[in-house]
Amino acid sequence: MKVKNKNLIMVSVIIFSFIVISIVANYNSLENAKDSCVENNKTPSIEQDFLAINWAVSCE
């Protein structure tokens, strides 16, 4: 395998890993925000954009 191909594969794996970690962290943050509303005996009101990348939680 040429050095150029190895570099392309390494960069692709790093970018893919970063995207996966970002999605998992975002999902966990959303779940944590919803759980804290429920713990305070309030109802979470969630506004989400595409794929829940941009979200807002308000406790009512």
Distances (CA, A) of 35 to 21, 49, 52: 21, 20, 16
pTM of the model: 0.75
Amino acid 58: pLDDT:
93
Tell me what the pLDDT averaged over the chain comes to: 91
Rounded Cα gap, residues 31 and 47, in angstroms:
13
Residue 19: predicted pLDDT: 94
pLDDT in the model for residue 50:
78
Residues 6+ apart with CB under 8 A from 33: 44, 57
What pLDDT, in 10s, does the model give residues 19-44?
999 989 999 999 999 999 999 999 99
Please, which residues bridge with residue 57 across strands? 46
Give kind and range of the element (H or E) at residue 38.
helix 3-39
Residue-level pLDDT at 36: 94
